[in-house]
Structure formats: C-alpha cells, structure tokens
Amino acid sequence: MTDEKKNIDDNTEQGKVGIYICYCGGNISDHVDVEKVRDRMEKLPGVSVARTNMFMCSDPGQEMIMEDLKNGTVNRVVVASCAPSLHETTFRNTLIRAGMNPYIYDHANIREHVSWVHHGEAATDKATRLVSAAAAKAEQLRPLEPIRVDAKPHATVIGGGIAGLRAAKDLADRGIEVTLIEKSPFLGGQLARLDRIAPTGDSAADLVKDLAGQVLANPMITVQTCAAVERFEGYVGSFKLGVKKQPPKFSQEDDKSKRGGLDGVNPGDYVPFSGVYPDPVPAEAEDFTIETGVIVLATGFKSYVPRRGEYGYRDFKEVITLTDLIQTLAETPAEGDRLKVNGRQIRSIAMIHCVGSRQIPGIHPEDESGNLNEYCSRTCCSATLNAANIIRQTYPGTSVYEFYRDIRTYGRGQEELYNDAGKNKVVFLRYEAEDAPQVVENTDSDDYPLRVKVNDTLTFGEEVEVPADLVVLATGMEPTGISELVDMMKLPVGTDRFLLEVHPKLRPVELPQAGILLAGTCQAPMDVGEACNGAGGAAVKAAAILGRGYVELDPFVAEVDASKCNGTGACVEACLVEGALRMVETEMDGVRRAEVTPALCTGCGACVAVCPQNAIDINGWTLKQYEAMVDRIVAADVAA
C-alpha cells in the first residue's frame, strides 16, 4: 500500500456504507427491479448512499464509487453485480485507486445467484436480502493488509521433457536459478522417442539435443537426473522439496526400447530414442532438500498401452503401436521398394486411429482402475498421417490403409498432411465407434498373416477386409502416474486424470495452489509446440511471482486474540492444514497459546468453530460479521 492511503480507524469512524447496484446491461435488471432494491437499501441503517449503473464495472461506474470515497460520502463499499470471481478484484482495485484499503469492500452476487435463476418479485426480494446482508457485513469490515511472504529467487521444474527443458531455460534467461528434476537418466522425455515431427519434419533428436544442450550449458540451471520429489512442504515463495536420487531400475520393457543399456554411454551423449544423458547415474541413493520459491510441473504423459487382445495387440506379433513403428522406421535403412520389418517384406500396413482415445462409456471397456479415456489425444491423427506419408514416399511398394473414426488435423500445416496422404495414395476406411475394426488371423490361402475387417462407411457400410502384413495402432496419450505428487501437493485433477488448471481460458497454466504452475502435457494432450507454449507461459508466471522478491497473499486467514486465548489447543486439533496452527509458549506470561502461520492458513474456519473462548477468528469473515449478515437476511422488514 502507498503512503497516500487514508487511514480508516474503525473504532472512531462509524461505517458509512455505499451500495452500488449494477443493471449488467439487462442481465440483472430484466429480472430484478434494481431501482426498487436501491430504494430499500437507502433506508437501511448505516447506509449513506445507494446508487445504480448500467455497467458498474465500466469507467463511469467505477469513477462514481471513487468520487464517493474521495469526498468522504462513504467509507465502506458494497457492489451488487455478477459473481465475485469475475469482478471482485476489479472493485477492490477501484478502492485502491481511490486511495483506500481494498478490504473495506464486500461483493453481492445478484446475477448468477439471483437474476439468472429467479424471476419477478422473488428475484427482487432475494437480491434485496443479499445486498442488505452484504451491507450489514460491510459496516463491520476493518482495513486489512495483504500477507507478505519473502520469495526465494529459485524455481524448481519437475520433469525433463521438452516442456520442462523449455521452462527451465526461460526461467534461467530471466535470471532465476533453476533446479530441474528428472526421474529417468535422460533429458528429452517422450519427444526423444519420436523421429520426424509432424507437420514440419523437424528431427526430434535435434530439438532435444538443441534445448537440452542450452539447459546443460546454462550456469543458472542445475539438472538432477534419476531424481524424484518425495517430500513437499511450505508455500509460495518458500517451498521445501525433499528429493531422492537413486540408481535407476530398468525393467524388461525398458530394455526393449533401449532405455536400459548404459554401457559405453558417456555423459553428454545423445542416446537415440532415450534422450540426452547428462550425468552418470548415481551409484547409491542420496537424499537432499531444495528450498525454492515456485514449482513448475512438467511431468508429461505416457503412451496408452493397448490391453491384450485390443485389435490383436500381444496376440499377434504383427500388431504394434505407432511409437514402435516410428522407431522401426527410423532404424530401418531405406532400401528397396518395400518396408522390411525384422526381415519381413511389408506389402500392406493397416493403421487404426483413436486407440485408447475418445472412448465411450458402454462401448469401450474401462481399464483395471475403472478409467476411460474419453478425450481426443489430438496428436495421433497428424502423427499417423505423417508416418503413412513417410512410408508411401520411401517405400512405394508398401500400401497403407488408415482406419479412422474422424480425422482431426487441427493445427497449422497439419491439414496438408491429410492432402498429401491422398496424393500418396493412402486408402482411408471409416468406422463407427460402436463397430470398430477387427484384427483376425488370415485363414485364406494368400500369405498375409492378418486381416482387418471393418464395416466401412465409405464403401456404403459394406464389410471390407484388408489383408495386412503389419497392423499399427495409433495410441493416444495418458497422464503420467504422479499420484504421489498429487497427494503430496494436493493438486487438482480433472475427470480425464490430467492436472486441472484454475481456468481453461483466463488462467491456463496456474493451479489454485499459489506458486505451482503447469507446463506441457501433464495438463492435457498437446503437440511439441503447444507444450513449449505452456512451458513458456508457466515460466513467465513463475518469474512474475519471484520478480518482486515477495509474494502478497489475501489476508483472509485466522487470527488469534491473545487476550482471550487460554491455550485449550482445540483449534490446533481441528486445523486441516499441517503447520498452519501450532501452540507456542508466550514470552510475556509463559502461557501456551495458539499461533497462526498466515501463509499456510487457508481461512477455512474449522478453528473458529471449535474455540470455546471465541479467541480465534478469520479476518474479513469474522463470526460477528456472519451474525450481522444472518440477522439481516432473516429480518422481516428488509424486503418489505
């Protein structure tokens, strides 16, 4: 707050409440008789003025409030308008611009809670009660100061894929020290498992080497591979992360994809289909703690693994996933007219779209945990078309058949992949979700090992059988298993199991937990460019938090009245957040009393409910204020 701020001492100055009721351009006034509400408010005790405006959030609306504050007509403000999530901050800022404390403000929601759901006289009466309750509360509001927390100028990025690398580099460029924590021995994540990236044809290896090289060369960034976060405490500006670094355990499956063998690999090498190997793996486990101001989550995705028997997967060795195909293509020298896989000539490839994506309840079976992937994985259409084009251009003797539900090539330059597929003579067959293709063993005399049967809507619903030497499943994305992080940090997770941002449009990389940000595919399926966009956004948000050196938090937290507290400790037992409340011996008289750590307190009020002395209260939402609101709501004459 600036020094110009007028000092309001609520002990001496009687509350002079100003009520400002918004028409919302008809959104409110079509159902609520706004002028009638205004007339009723004007008569309330403690209310100095009640005014209306077509759009209170407009400049003239806000200036009207500022004028009343500046000339002393009012010293408490209530705006009755839309939901506080939309404009509470707007009007608190109006108070700041008028040189006032922003916390002598209360907001009444008479749009979402009234005009959008009630009509006629009932709407006007409910609006009246809500606004008068807000006025009663406003009378008792005290100026508050935001909680100020020092921010440690250090960021931690969890995940060393392309999004984590991008976020780490962007933060370091802003002059912030960064620790990058990666679970595997490699940097590059899932991108390192790809080859030529659609639609531009960039080499995934080059992208990873380039960005990982910049990260490793940057003295501001410390990279910790084979490391995982095991403990978490603290709050924005001052988090503490317990990290465990240990020798990697390689599973059989990893060995197949070359993630295992590190023999002959030197630090700094790029291991194809694994990534950049920055440091030798640790010989034994070690634990350390990182103190950090912000956390960027870049925990990525994992590829959907088809169940046994899904389109013949694991029943037939000729059925592979798209990632398998990409690696095979990259490792096969381009010789001859036909693609060869393990020495077998591939005359015909069937590629099936939407495997493990866009699943429909009642049609697709749930996995063993009861999950369905109802979302579109967004990248597989383009990746499949890209692979088909590469095959057709490199091996004209190999035919490609694509089985799709819908083709969604949604980004710049991606529709061209579909056009190119036509020019490359890729044949498309279309199936309905409830009538998926079947992969069966070929029992006819021709020597194709498999057949893919489909009721093809492009051939007028006729059953069509495609002979196939290879079946490729375009598997989608699933969230990485990060349930430990989710539990530790209490992260919100969507119904799709990806991490859930505060607002999909307006706050797309933030979580409700201040200081924890989202980068890349931990949030939703994305392509490389989108993941880097998200990472860049998260880095900027993180830098903005750390930039001032301190963080300001809303002051709506518990406060103990030391004169009343006699140390029952009931509040500490009731407290839902570890560390937010504790008993402390007071120097003055040696009595143990409750003490609040404001940065951790969520203002839930559990402590207020249990204190036998009424010695603890939530600032901005005190028991007295609630009582005043309730009294006003039940008062008989308010809406008369």
Partner 1 sequence: MALVNPDFAQEIAKHGNETALECFNCGTCAAICPLIYEHFPRRMIRYIQIGAKDRILENAQELWRCLHCGLCTQTCPRGADPGEVILGLKRYVVADWRRS
Q: How far is the CB of 194 from partner 1 (least distance, A)?
A: 27
Per DSSP bridges, beta strands 196-197 and 202-203 are antiparallel
475 binds partner 1 (CB under 8 A): no
Largest Cα–Cα distance in the chain?
100
Instruction: Please pick, from the candidates 83, 228, 330, 427, the single residue that binds partner 1 as defined by CB under 8 A.
Output: 427
446-458: buried (b, 16+ CB within 10 Å) or exposed (e) per residue? eeebbbbebbbee
Candidate segments 424-432, 524-532, 540-548, 587-595, binder of partner 1 by CB under 8 A: 424-432
Is residue 192 a contact partner of residue 204, using CB atoms and an 8 Å limit? Answer: yes
Is residue 235 a contact partner of residue 557, using CB atoms and an 8 Å limit? Answer: no
Show contacts with partner 1 in window 384-403 (CB under 8 A). 399, 401
435 binds partner 1 (CB under 8 A): no
Instruction: Please pick, from the candidates 462, 484, 487, 627, the single residue that binds partner 1 as defined by CB under 8 A.
Output: 462
Instruction: Please pick, from the candidates 10, 202, 233, 465, the single residue that binds partner 1 as defined by CB under 8 A.
Output: 465
467 binds partner 1 (CB under 8 A): yes
Nearer to partner 1, 156 or 348 (CB): 348
437 binds partner 1 (CB under 8 A): no
Nearer to partner 1, 294 or 426 (CB): 426
Give Cα separations from 160 to 184, 187, 193, 305 (angstroms). 9, 5, 13, 22
Nearer to partner 1, 277 or 428 (CB): 428
Give Cα separations from 478 to 64, 158, 486, 534 (angstroms). 52, 18, 16, 18
Candidate segments 277-285, 286-294, 319-327, 422-430, binder of partner 1 by CB under 8 A: 422-430
Is residue 104 a contact partner of residue 8, using CB atoms and an 8 Å limit? Answer: yes
What's the rounded Cα separation, in Å, for the pair 413 and 200? 8
Q: How far is the CB of 458 from partner 1 (least distance, A)?
A: 5
3-state SS, residue 30 = coil
Give the position of tokens 């209306």: 52
Fill in the per-residue mask, 401 to 420: x = in contact with partner 1 (CB under 8 A), - = not in contact: x----------------x--
Q: Which residues are CB-neighbours of 9 under 8 A, at least 6 positions away?
A: none
CB atoms within 10 A of CB 67: 12
Nearer to partner 1, 233 or 420 (CB): 420
Show contacts with partner 1 in window 1-20 (CB under 8 A). none
459 binds partner 1 (CB under 8 A): yes
347 binds partner 1 (CB under 8 A): yes
What's the rounded Cα separation, in Å, for the pair 493 and 288? 28
Which tokens hold the place of 29?
Answer: 């006034």
Instruction: Please pick, from the candidates 27, 52, 348, 521, the single residue that binds partner 1 as defined by CB under 8 A.
Output: 348
Size of the site for partner 1 (CB under 8 A): 22
422 binds partner 1 (CB under 8 A): yes
The CA angle 174-520-500, to the nearest 5 degrees, is 110
Instruction: Please pick, from the candidates 17, 194, 466, 517, the single residue that binds partner 1 as defined by CB under 8 A.
Output: 466
Chain positions contacting partner 1, by CB under 8 A: 347-348, 399, 401, 418, 422-423, 425-429, 456, 458-460, 462-467
